């Protein structure tokens, strides 16, 4: 049973097809693993064992009849607790949300997974309303790193990253408004993709607007491609969703990187101080891309740090989110969220539009950059996971989480697809992530480049053994 928790979604589906094991066995194994690791890492808001096993029984019947519902029939999945899951409260990490509300609708990505027969284990932890790059809240406590429980899992999809890393389901849905899929995926040693904005529909719309993407968090790039084949495509509830996908993301994995024009930016032109162990691991992976036939050039995009503009967009969204909160509700806010909401409330419309201008300029410069390069490779983060329960590393001098995530949030502003790939463990035993970015609508290139690293044995790290 424990071996089933080590399989990818693709391997599970293959096993179901061959009759080697059943969705019930895989679901029971994932639930047992989730129960075992929860006290140490705190990855889950809730687990729904009875409902999950009922779904697995239905899936097993379909497989026996040779009539699977879809591409992920019987695969255990988890959902970040900012996305609607029918029949279960979506509390968004906040005591301000009434759990007794009407929970009668799935988010678009959840609905697509349900249509394809996925088994829902439960909801994963998030900081309040997903506002920061680590995962802790007054509602659920601190979510910890599978490789060292004294360290953070990252965030805001920290529960999802920890769950996948520890074998509590091979797939999870996360959201990413400034790095919230890629940050925890990098810290926890898994694969995470922020697709092109609109490629995966979102409803209800995020308070953080067009910065927020929905994406897969998985064991490897192949599973992410499989998940993208399910969750991509239009949904009438999302006015900004893109049209139908032109082909299969799984089919697009093949082809390698020979001839691919890769820009390697180790520090965004010296703007970022990257830990030596992180820099070395990323460089080794980039050298492997070159050995596999990619044309690698050390080149930096014109990304003069747009943090002030990002803060304007982020803080004003936080103000809008909490605009109608009364005094009691404001007392229930994370102090950091309460602070940025106050700052956001003082931002003028002209300041906001100036930030939009910065965003458009950034997108224009990245558009020009892609004329010379197919993909951009950077570290995902300049450091490995730091102490749990803190928004910023001790002694860093940073005020907000954006201080240590300079490689992630710019690509939310440009809406480009970006993924993180685990490329080794640092001497402290913690995972290192490499980020791959491509032009808007070229999610296939991101996935193919990442898949090539996995196929070459460069990507992927040993599973955590301390939990």
Q: Is 0.75 topped by the overall pTM?
A: yes
Burial of 463 (0-12, 13-18, 19+ CB in 10 A): middle
Give the separation between CA 160 and CA 168, rounded to whole angstroms.
9
Angle at 238 between CA 55 and CA 414, to 5 degrees: 110
- Convert the pLDDT of each residue in 151-183 to its tens digit: 999 999 999 999 999 999 999 999 999 999 999
Examine residue 156 and say whether the peptide bond preceding it is cis (omega within 30 degrees of 0): yes
180 is catalytic: yes
Backbone φ and ψ for 174, nearest 5 degrees, come out as -125, 175
80 is catalytic: yes
Catalytic residue among 22, 59, 80, 153: 80
- 233 has pLDDT over 90: no
Angle at 90 between CA 86 and CA 96, to 5 degrees: 150
Look at residue 307 and tell me if it is in a domain.
yes
- Convert the pLDDT of each residue in 408-447 to its tens digit: 999 999 999 999 999 999 999 999 999 999 999 999 999 9
Look at residue 18 and tell me if it is in a domain.
yes
Look at residue 252 and tell me if it is in a domain.
yes
Catalytic residue among 59, 109, 137, 156: 156
Question: What is the biggest distance separating any 2 CA atoms in the chain, rounded to whole angstroms?
Answer: 62
Backbone φ and ψ for 57, nearest 5 degrees, come out as -60, -45
Question: What CATH code is carried by the domain that includes residue 372?
Answer: 3.90.1300.10
Look at residue 227 and tell me if it is in a domain.
yes
Count of domains in the chain?
1
- 1 has pLDDT over 60: no
E strands, 53-115, in order: 76-80
Contact predicate 383/277, CB 8 Å: no
43-52, 300-309, 354-363: range with lowest mean pLDDT: 300-309
Contact predicate 385/154, CB 8 Å: yes
Residue 8: which domain range? 2-455
Look at residue 467 and tell me if it is in a domain.
no
Average pLDDT over residues 460-465: 92
Look at residue 464 and tell me if it is in a domain.
no
Contact predicate 167/76, CB 8 Å: no
Query: What's the pLDDT band for 465 if we cut at 50, 70, 90?
Result: confident
Average pLDDT over residues 83-95: 97
Q: What percent of the chain has pLDDT over 90?
A: 97
- 463 has pLDDT over 70: yes
Look at residue 184 and tell me if it is in a domain.
yes
Q: Quote the pLDDT of residue 236.
A: 96
Average pLDDT score over the chain: 97
Burial pattern 299-327, b for ≥16 Cβ within 10 A else e, equals ebbebeebeebbbbbbbbbbbebbeeeee
Q: Quote the pLDDT of residue 115.
A: 98
């Amino acid at each position: 049973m424990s071996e089933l928790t080590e399989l990818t979604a693709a391997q599970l589906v293959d096993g179901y097809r061959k009759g080697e094991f059943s969705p019930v066995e895989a679901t029971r194994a994932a639930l047992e693993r989730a129960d075992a690791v929860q006290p140490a890492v705190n990855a889950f808001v809730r687990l729904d064992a009875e409902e999950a096993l009922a779904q697995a029984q239905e899936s097993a019947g379909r497989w026996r009849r040779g009539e699977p519902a879809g591409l992920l029939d019987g695969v255990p999945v988890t959902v970040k607790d900012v996305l609607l899951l029918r029949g279960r409260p979506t509390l968004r990490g906040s005591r301000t949300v009434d759990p007794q509300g009407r929970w009668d609708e799935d988010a678009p990505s959840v609905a697509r997974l349900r249509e394809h027969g996925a088994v829902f284990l439960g909801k994963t932890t998030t900081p309040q309303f997903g506002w920061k790059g680590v995962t802790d809240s007054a509602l659920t406590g601190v979510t910890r790193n599978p490789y060292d429980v004294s360290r953070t899992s990252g965030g805001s999809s920290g529960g999802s990253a920890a769950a996948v890393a520890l074998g509590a389901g091979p797939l999870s849905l996360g959201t990413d408004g400034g790095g919230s899929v890629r940050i925890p995926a990098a810290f926890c040693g898994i694969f995470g993709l922020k697709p092109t904005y609109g490629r995966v529909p979102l409803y209800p719309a995020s308070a953080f607007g067009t910065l927020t993407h929905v994406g897969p968090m998985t064991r490897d790039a192949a599973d992410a491609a499989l998940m993208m084949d399910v969750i991509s495509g239009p949904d009438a509830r999302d006015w900004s969703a893109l049209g139908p996908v032109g082909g299969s993301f799984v089919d697009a994995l093949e082809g390698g990187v020979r001839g691919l024009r890769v820009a390697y930016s180790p520090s965004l032109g010296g703007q970022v101080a990257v830990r030596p162990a992180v820099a070395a691991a990323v460089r080794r992976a980039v050298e492997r891309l070159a050995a596999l036939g990619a044309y690698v050039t050390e080149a930096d995009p014109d990304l003069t740090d747009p943090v002030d503009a990002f803060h304007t967009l982020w803080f004003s969204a936080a103000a809008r989110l909490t605009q109608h909160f009364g005094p009691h509700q404001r007392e229930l806010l994370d102090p950091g969220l309460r602070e940025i909401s106050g700052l956001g409330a003082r931002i003028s419309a002209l300041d906001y539009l100036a930030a939009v201008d910065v965003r458009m300029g950034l997108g224009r410069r990245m558009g020009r950059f892609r004329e010379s390069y197919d993909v951009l490779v950077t570290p995902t983060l300049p450091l490995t996971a730091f102490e749990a329960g803190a928004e910023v590393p001790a002694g860093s001098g940073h005020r907000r989480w954006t201080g240590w995530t300079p490689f992630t949030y710019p690509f939310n502003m440009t809406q480009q697809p970006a993924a993180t790939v685990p490329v080794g463990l640092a001497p402290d035993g913690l995972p290192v992530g490499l980020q791959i970015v491509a032009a808007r609508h070229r999610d296939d290139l991101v996935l193919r480049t990442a898949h090539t690293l996995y196929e070459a044995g460069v990507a992927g790290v040993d599973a955590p053994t301390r939990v």
